[in-house]
Structure 1
Amino acid sequence: MVTGTGLVERAGGLCEVGRRRAGDAEEQRRLTPDVVARMLESGFARHFVPVGFGGVEGGFGEFARAVAVVAEGCAATAWCASVAASLARVAACLPQEGQADVWGSGADVFVVGSLSPVGSAVQAPGGWRLSGSWAYVSGVDYADWVVLCAALPGRDGARLFAVPRGAYAVKDTWTGSGMRGTGSNTVVVDDVFVPESRSVDRQRLSDGRTVPIQAVNGLSCAPAALGVARGALKLWTADTARRLARGGGRAGGPGPSLGTYEAVLTRSSGEIDAAMLLLERAASVADDRGERITEEEIARNVRDYALSSELLVNAVNRMYAASGTSGQSAGSPLERAWRDVNSIATHIALTFDPAAVLFASRPFALEAA
């Protein structure tokens, strides 16, 4: 039975700090130090850390709700909070000695990384020599450790490597139109030795000793989109109410009619609620089933992450189109939400076609048999 840790309640305070500093994060293309400090104090980094190292081994449902709460104030803050929790869960797959290296001085360690096998590693006495360049590593400017994935020349598969701050370089390459404050820069490693204790086969993420990463990967992204959409709904509704109070929406007048605004509100709020229910079920399945989750349940979760993302993008795009010049002004909170939710939806964990291939493969195979 997964119990609560208070993360959702603490997320409310982080939401407000992130909201106040969202403009600064956009301008600097990374979070501000006070936001990062508050994120760690809130408990995101320790949420999936083993109890033996000071963590709480929290649940996916609580994690997803907390990320969505933060995203109502600042999508970039929520994204980095999600990364801190999700990559710590990956680091928990390391051998015990490697985990002790990461969390030996406490559980509130900011771990970031990339699971794309774009680097290379060769065996060396006692470990590996790692080289490569990994783009789009969110929050890396403030990270204590990075977990990186590399292919093994001449061998099948890939491995994960935990590398401490100081053993890698960071290139300032992040120029995304959305999620600007995430600081998703590039990590460069040049022939760095990584001991065996800080490395693990990537298959460990899916081998049945923990919740397979495919079952929960979308939970590292979609809840942020949910929070952004909720925040956008509040902004749009308040702005539209003021517009109507000034005489907007009148039949025969300039601009959309009252019926148009009513339809936008009703349909967009319904899509946001539907996405929330899909994500709640996916998180509940991961919490309840754990490593016993079935292939069918994994496929449904992957489908639901992609589908919820589409619903949320549709909802925000509809509100943005009906927001008028003020809502679409560059740098306005609604314009930022529009950029952010569309940017989140491009993440590989939320793309629909791969989800459809996975979901439909088993039913179609059974029918063809």
Structure 2
Amino acid sequence: MLVPSPSPTDLIADAEDLAVVAARCAPQSEAERRLSGDVVEALRATGFAAHFVPAAHGGKEGTFTELSEAVARVGQSCAATAWCASLVANLGRMAGLLPAEGQAEVWATGPGTVVVGSLAPTGTAERVTGGWQVSGAWPYISAVDFSDWALLCARVPADGPAAARMFAVPRSAYQIADTWSNVGMSGTGSNTVTLEATVVPEARSFDRQNLFTGTPAVSTAACHVVPLQAVNGLSFVTPVLGAARGAQRAWTAYVGDKIRGAAARPGAPAIERGPYDLVLARASGEIDAAELLIRRAAQVADQGAGITPFEVSRNLRDCSLAMETVVTAVNRLFRAAGTSGHTTGSPVQRVWRDVNSAASHIAVQFEPAAAAYATQVFKI
């Protein structure tokens, strides 16, 4: 896990509590294809939703370093729960770019409001009196079943290629289609939001480009002015880092018992430790290396507006490389787990499915990250 601060914060304590419930309910969440009711209740009781909320609305305007540690701790017990906790925090951060009036609506009942959303411009919007009329369908929105608001992206008319805006929509306005049936990360409940021609006031909207430039309407907090490219990868790789730690822990316990059990049986053939030693050393080293990359990326992101274009591209590179490295480690553990470790009840095989599924997310693909990084280095 990421090294905690000398004085553990409330969010770290919350993460430990959530991890206990998430571990107990992981089979149920996976079977139901959404977080179980107990996990949702536990997650709502934590500070994840409020972590990046503007202080004016009772939020913490927290750091990426703290969030990364907390998410990774939850991920050791359940990757899906950690994924939802991470996205709930980060969508709250994005809603912090709204104008003041829109923020007041979103957090009218307090900073614990659960905001979900999508940056994909799969909806359409046109100007009407008082704001925008928005409609469309947005697939793959994690944690949507227990959301209070959705931050949705839609194309808007513009000169040349269509531009895109973000729109904050309350739960009463949108519908949820049950479309999530993936083999990995099934507990995230990443279903589809549909919205029928709904008028969204101007105050609950902002230009999507503001996310990429770090240009909030009113906030000056570091977490709101950092460019999206510098932090988006953290949203998706930190749950996977935690899951890899959980897989390593489960694999080590299983293999250790196997070796000790064979040694304790008189006349039983000894188990050759060499291959297991290599797997443990390589996989744990790979996970540690990924952790170091993630820790630096989080610390750099916490600079806010002080981050340089080079650091933005390096963060993107580091998160994508960390994801590749963690996947390699988990695949290594899975291959060495043997037939018994591949049973449906094994936590190693569940992490193997979750991690490989998470690694397909567009935000952590290495090729575009490499191109962005090289552009900054070569200056061409």
Q: When the two structures are superposed, what TM-score results if normalisation uses the length of structure 1? A: 0.94
Amino acid at match of 1:223: T
1:168, 1:208 → 2: CA distance?
28
**Distance apart, 1:344 and its partner CA:** 1.1
1:197 aligns to 2:203 (yes or no):
yes
Aligned mate of 1:174, from 172, 180, 190: 180
2:199, 2:243 → 1: CA distance?
40
1:276, 1:214 → 2: CA distance?
19
Residue 308 of structure 2 corresponds to 294
Residue 286 of structure 2 corresponds to 271
Residue 330 of structure 1 corresponds to 344
**Distance apart, 1:365 and its partner CA:** 3.7
**Distance apart, 1:32 and its partner CA:** 1.3
Residue 147 of structure 2 corresponds to 143
Residue 97 of structure 1 corresponds to 101
1:134, 1:256 → 2: CA distance?
52
Residue 350 of structure 1 corresponds to 364
Deviations 1:221-278 (A, max 9, x none): 1010100000000000000001111228xxxx98973110000000000000000000
Answer yes or no: is the 8 Å Cα contact 1:5–1:56 preserved in 2.
no
Answer yes or no: is the 8 Å Cα contact 2:91–2:117 preserved in 1.
yes
1:235, 1:332 → 2: CA distance?
9
Residue 318 of structure 1 corresponds to 332
Q: What's the secondary structure of 1:160's corresponding residue?
A: strand
**Distance apart, 1:153 and its partner CA:** 3.2
Residue 124 of structure 1 corresponds to 128
Aligned counterparts, 1:150-169, within 5 A: 150-155=154-159, 156-169=162-175
Q: What's the secondary structure of 2:45's corresponding residue?
A: helix
Amino acid at match of 1:303: R
Q: What's the secondary structure of 1:31's corresponding residue?
A: coil
Residue 229 of structure 2 corresponds to 214
Residue 92 of structure 2 corresponds to 88
**Shift in CA distance, 4/330, structure 1 to aligned 2, threshold 3 Å:** closer
Answer yes or no: is the 8 Å Cα contact 1:139–1:183 preserved in 2.
yes
Answer yes or no: is the 8 Å Cα contact 1:4–1:58 preserved in 2.
no
Answer yes or no: is the 8 Å Cα contact 2:262–2:270 preserved in 1.
no
2:26, 2:242 → 1: CA distance?
14
Q: What's the secondary structure of 2:120's corresponding residue?
A: strand
**Distance apart, 1:332 and its partner CA:** 1.9
1:308, 1:246 → 2: CA distance?
35
2:340, 2:17 → 1: CA distance?
28
**Distance apart, 1:326 and its partner CA:** 1.4
1:242, 1:5 → 2: CA distance?
35
Residue 41 of structure 2 corresponds to 37
**Distance apart, 1:134 and its partner CA:** 0.5
2:338, 2:177 → 1: CA distance?
38
**Shift in CA distance, 257/4, structure 1 to aligned 2, threshold 3 Å:** closer
**Distance apart, 1:362 and its partner CA:** 2.6
Q: When the two structures are superposed, what TM-score results if normalisation uses the length of structure 2? A: 0.92
Answer yes or no: is the 8 Å Cα contact 2:247–2:348 preserved in 1.
yes
Residue 220 of structure 2 corresponds to none
Aligned mate of 1:234, from 243, 249, 261: 249
Aligned mate of 2:137, from 116, 124, 133: 133
**Shift in CA distance, 330/324, structure 1 to aligned 2, threshold 3 Å:** same
1:188, 1:334 → 2: CA distance?
35
How many residue pairs get aligned? The number is 361
1:34, 1:109 → 2: CA distance?
18
Deviations 1:272-296 (A, max 9, x none): 0000000000000011x21121110
Amino acid at match of 1:60: F
**Shift in CA distance, 362/39, structure 1 to aligned 2, threshold 3 Å:** same
2:347, 2:284 → 1: CA distance?
18
1:111, 1:122 → 2: CA distance?
23
Gaps of 5+ in 1: none
1:21, 1:301 → 2: CA distance?
33
2:248, 2:214 → 1: CA distance?
39
Aligned mate of 1:304, from 309, 318, 323: 318
**Distance apart, 1:83 and its partner CA:** 1.1
Answer yes or no: is the 8 Å Cα contact 1:147–1:161 preserved in 2.
yes
1:331, 1:160 → 2: CA distance?
41
Aligned mate of 1:11, from 9, 15, 38: 15
Aligned counterparts, 1:107-118, within 5 A: 107-118=111-122
Percentage of matched positions with identical amino acids: 52
**Shift in CA distance, 256/343, structure 1 to aligned 2, threshold 3 Å:** farther
1:161, 1:26 → 2: CA distance?
30
2:8, 2:314 → 1: CA distance?
25
**Shift in CA distance, 170/256, structure 1 to aligned 2, threshold 3 Å:** farther
1:350, 1:245 → 2: CA distance?
39
Deviations 1:101-136 (A, max 9, x none): 010111101100001111110000010000111000
Q: What's the secondary structure of 1:197's corresponding residue?
A: helix
Answer yes or no: is the 8 Å Cα contact 2:50–2:60 preserved in 1.
yes
Deviations 1:175-196 (A, max 9, x none): 1110010000000111111011
